Amino acid sequence: MLLKEKIIQKIKYLLPVIFFVILFIVLYSIISNLSNKEEGDRKKQSDSLYSQADRIDDKIDGDGDGLGDKVEFILGIDRYSKDSDGDGFSDYDELKNGHNPFLVSSRDELSSEIKAEIQEVLFSGEEINFSRLEIIRDGLEKQISEKLCQNSNSSYEDLSDKDKARDSIKLKNPCMCSKVINIKDRNDCFSVLGALVNDESLCSYISEEGREEKNGFYFKFMKDECFRNLMSVTSDEKYCFKISKESRITSCLIALILKTKRYDLCDSIENLDERDECYWTVAIFSKNKKLCDKISPDNKSGNDREGCIGLIKKSPL
């Protein structure tokens, strides 16, 4: 009996140890799975990024800032604006001088390691090694995250991308947006949150990535969508004019005009064809024949005065 009691006593002492060992194994397994999933998501995203980048001619520099479209696409920089963050310095100059083209603050100086990588990859005169751009990209994103999370106490490590995006909106916390791995989800997060808190600076953190508007593929202008969201919330036309493409500016203004009945906004469009498109569309939707008369008399696109008036007459009351 004495031996049996000793064995029972030892088991009692060992039970807490066994419990903590099992708990450690379970937690380690969960953390490892999360880490492996996150790494897998990053690899999948990286593979997709380079697959899309292969469709871009590395000799093209659409915005004329000195950085090729392919370089800007991989780095997530706006290919349609010389100055992605709107701070008065071109994206080329910011990278050349060791600053982050996504950040407008005075605290946008990059680490010495990323500065050295930028100089060697982009400004050494050697042929660009596009795969090494991912190191630079990670450095840019890390600095954005550090800036947005410096005053945040939110926990995000164990959350999925969907939960991070949801909580960022719920808590109005841009730090959570910066922790979303999937680029599209991260961009959507900044776009929605920027409009929700009326903070234009959040649009500057959006990476301009997607598929090309040619060869059967569609490119989503995510930063333009952020500006349009801000217009919808504020009814301020200035956000329409921050959009990168003329046809999208017109579409944004038309939506604003139909919402506010500020018909004079069509007059602010410089491109004649786009201005006529604005008059035509707003006239028909608002049944305002006076706007038809503002269409240029020599319009050749089909949006002519007579057709405009005719469609209004035929439309039901």
Residue 266: predicted pLDDT: 95
Residue 97 and residue 118 in contact, taking contact as beta carbons nearer than 8 Å: no
Domain membership of residue 58 (yes or no) is: no
Residue 213: predicted pLDDT: 46
Range with the largest mean pLDDT of 128-132, 134-138, 195-199: 195-199
Residue 172: predicted pLDDT: 92
Question: How many domains does the structure of the chain reveal?
Answer: 1
Residue 90: predicted pLDDT: 92
Residue 215, pLDDT > 60, answer: no
CA dihedral over 96, 101, 107, 110, signed as positive or negative: negative
Q: What is the pLDDT of residues 132-174, one digit of tens each?
A: 888 998 899 899 998 888 877 767 777 888 888 888 988 999 9
Confidence of residue 210 (pLDDT cuts 50, 70, 90): very low
Residue 126: predicted pLDDT: 87
Q: What is the pLDDT of residues 233-273, one digit of tens each?
A: 999 999 999 988 888 999 999 999 999 999 999 999 999 99
Average pLDDT score over residue span 194-206? 91
Amino acid at 112: S
Domain membership of residue 49 (yes or no) is: no
Q: Domain of residue 277: give its range.
A: 245-314
Q: For residue 245, give both structure tokens.
A: 């493409």
The pTM for the full model equals: 0.72
Q: Residue count of the chain, please give it.
A: 317
Higher pLDDT, 46 or 306: 306
Domain membership of residue 173 (yes or no) is: no
For 33-45, the DSSP string reads HHHHHHHHHHHHH
Domain membership of residue 197 (yes or no) is: no
Domain membership of residue 269 (yes or no) is: yes
Percent of the chain with pLDDT over 70: 78
Q: For residue 297, give both structure tokens.
A: 């008399």
Percent of the chain with pLDDT over 90: 34
Instruction: Go through 57-85 and write b for each residue having 16 or more CB atoms within 10 A of its CB, e for each that does not.
Output: eeeebebebbbbbbbbbbbbbbbbbbbbb
Residue 47: predicted pLDDT: 52
Domain membership of residue 225 (yes or no) is: no
Domain membership of residue 285 (yes or no) is: yes
Domain membership of residue 192 (yes or no) is: no
Mean pLDDT of the chain: 81
